[in-house]
Amino acid sequence: MLFPPRYEPLVVSVLMTTYMAGLMTLAITLVNTGLDAGFPGRWAKAFVISWPIAFTLITVGRPLVLRLAAKLIRAS
C-alpha cells in the first residue's frame, strides 16, 4: 500500500480527474481540431488547463455528491 486509508478521498480525486479530464480533452480536442502533427500539443494544453479545474471541483464537490447519492439510493 502506497498511501494510508485516510488519503483515499484525495487519491480517488486525483485518479478520477486525471482519467476524466484526459479522455474528455482528448475527445473534444480531436473533434474540434482534428488529428494532425499539432494535436498532442493542443491536447496537452487543454489537459493542463482542465485538470486543475476538475480536481478542485471533485475535491470540493465529492462530499456533497456522496450525500446526494445516499439520499437518492433507497435501502432495500
CA angle, residues 35, 19, 64, in degrees to nearest 5: 135
Q: Which residues of 38-57 are buried (b: 16+ CB within 10 A; e: fewer)?
A: eeeebbeebbeebbeebbee
72 or 1, greater pLDDT: 72
pLDDT in tens, 49-72: 999 999 999 999 999 999 999 999
pLDDT at 76: 67
Phi, psi of 34, deg, nearest 5: 80, 170
